[in-house]
């Protein structure tokens, strides 16, 4: 299939998923009934949740600022603006096409070429996925495998990035590249990866801290809309985030995100209607925070080039 036709097909499927979710919620729950619990939530509680989510945005911006510190030193506000806008576009645009905004914004604000920003973004996404799967293994492992297997497997999984770094970083530094433009391009791409241990550990630390706070807040919010234990809430939010790796998504993740959360909550004895209501309200909270952060990013300064 032609790439343009494939993109069009994904967009049509994404729109269909959004419309399907809107119709499903209206027929099964009713939008008025689904949104009613928001009126009973204490404003202070919501404010605290939003502040914590914004803290995770700041930690992700610190990861970028630290990783490209030679280019971004003294301009954290611009990096935060860039990170918030990248997050907004990534959540709203279909098929993860919002990822393309990262190299574009890094080039625009800091003159960092795509040959450096794209490998770094791939490294960030690898860390994100590894951390998310580690949390899933730790939370779901007790129920599926028991603690005797869960903790050793989680520890082994957590060691994989470090083992990969120890194995590949020295080889990349001594990699014999072909001469000419291709060799120069590959050299720049390789140098964009974390080849020294301090940078590796710092990027991993920013990733772990931001994800742990983010998942804790989302699990907390999910639990406000349906009675469940903490383990079920964590499994639900992790499953929802893991739907981002699917090849097709609804517009702004609508439909696919909810399906992931509901599928994860059903084994815990939560009925589908209750799980759907909680999943949709959580997704609305996430999108609301993303839109608010994207709007506030416009007030942050742009680096003078």
The confidence score (pLDDT) of residue 149 equals 80
Which tokens sit at 289?
């925070």
Cβ neighbours for 15, distance < 8 A, ≥ 6 positions apart: 250, 251
The answer to which of 57-61, 111-115, 161-165, 248-252 has the lowest mean pLDDT is 248-252
Q: How far apart are CA 240 and CA 197, in angstroms?
A: 32
The confidence score (pLDDT) of residue 172 equals 62
The confidence score (pLDDT) of residue 223 equals 94
> Measuring CA to CA, which residue among 74, 59, 67 is closest to residue 199?
67
Q: How far apart are CA 272 and CA 220, in angstroms?
A: 19
Using CB atoms within 10 Å of the CB of residue 136, give its burial: 0 to 12 exposed, 13 to 18 middle, 19+ buried.
buried
pTM, two decimals, is 0.90
> Measuring CA to CA, which residue among 294, 291, 292 is closest to residue 84?
294
The confidence score (pLDDT) of residue 192 equals 65
> Measuring CA to CA, which residue among 66, 54, 96 is closest to residue 296?
54
Q: How far apart are CA 221 and CA 255, in angstroms?
A: 19
Task: Identify the band that residue 233 occupies on the pLDDT scale cut at 50, 70 and 90.
Answer: very high
The confidence score (pLDDT) of residue 93 equals 79
The confidence score (pLDDT) of residue 207 equals 96
Which tokens sit at 18?
């959004």
301: which DSSP letter?
P
The confidence score (pLDDT) of residue 302 equals 85
Q: How far apart are CA 72 and CA 77, in angstroms?
A: 10
The confidence score (pLDDT) of residue 197 equals 87
Angstrom CA distances, 181 to 119, 176, 178, 214, stand at: 18, 14, 9, 42
The confidence score (pLDDT) of residue 66 equals 96
Higher pLDDT: 181 or 210? It is 210
* pLDDT average, residue stretch 253-277: 93
Task: Identify the band that residue 190 occupies on the pLDDT scale cut at 50, 70 and 90.
Answer: low
> Measuring CA to CA, which residue among 18, 20, 91, 27 is closest to residue 60?
91
Q: How far apart are CA 287 and CA 305, in angstroms?
A: 32
* Cβ–Cβ under 8 Å, residues 193 and 172: yes
Start-to-end Cα distance in the chain:
42
Q: Phi/psi of residue 5, each to 5°? A: -65, -35
The confidence score (pLDDT) of residue 178 equals 59
Query: How does the average pLDDT of the chain come out, rounded?
Result: 87
Q: How far apart are CA 236 and CA 136, in angstroms?
A: 10
Task: Identify the band that residue 4 occupies on the pLDDT scale cut at 50, 70 and 90.
Answer: low
* Cβ–Cβ under 8 Å, residues 38 and 281: yes
Token look-up 């005797």 returns 148
The confidence score (pLDDT) of residue 53 equals 96
Task: Identify the band that residue 141 occupies on the pLDDT scale cut at 50, 70 and 90.
Answer: confident
Does residue 187 surpass a pLDDT of 60?
no
Does residue 95 surpass a pLDDT of 70?
no
The confidence score (pLDDT) of residue 208 equals 95
The confidence score (pLDDT) of residue 185 equals 63
């Amino acid at each position: 299939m032609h790439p343009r036709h494939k993109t069009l097909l994904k967009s049509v499927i994404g729109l269909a998923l959004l419309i399907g979710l809107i119709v499903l919620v209206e027929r099964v729950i009713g939008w008025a009934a689904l949104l009613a619990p928001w009126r009973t939530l204490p404003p202070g509680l919501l404010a605290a949740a939003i502040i914590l989510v914004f803290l995770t945005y700041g930690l992700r911006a610190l990861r970028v600022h630290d990783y490209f510190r030679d280019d971004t030193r003294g301009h954290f506000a611009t990096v935060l603006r860039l990170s918030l806008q990248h997050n907004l576009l990534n959540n709203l645009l279909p098929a993860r096409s919002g990822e393309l905004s990262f190299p574009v914004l890094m080039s625009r604000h800091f003159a960092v070429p795509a040959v450096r920003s794209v490998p770094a973004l791939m490294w960030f996404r690898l860390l994100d996925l590894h951390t998310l799967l580690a949390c899933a293994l730790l939370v779901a492992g007790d129920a599926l495998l028991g603690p005797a297997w869960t903790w050793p497997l989680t520890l082994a999984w957590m060691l994989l990035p470090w083992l990969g770094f120890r194995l590949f970083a020295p080889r990349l530094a001594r990699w014999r590249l072909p001469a000419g433009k291709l060799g120069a391009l590959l050299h720049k791409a390789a140098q964009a990866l974390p080849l020294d241990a301090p940078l590796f550990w710092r990027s991993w630390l920013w990733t772990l801290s931001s994800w742990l706070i983010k998942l804790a807040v989302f699990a907390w919010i999910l639990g406000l809309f349906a009675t469940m234990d903490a383990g079920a809430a964590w499994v639900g939010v992790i499953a929802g985030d893991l739907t981002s790796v699917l090849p097709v998504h609804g517009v702004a993740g609508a439909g696919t995100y909810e399906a992931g959360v509901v599928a994860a909550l059903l084994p815990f004895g939560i009925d589908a209607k209750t799980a759907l209501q909680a999943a949709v309200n959580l997704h609305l909270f996430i999108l609301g925070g993303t839109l608010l952060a994207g709007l506030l990013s416009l007030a942050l300064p742009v680096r003078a080039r």
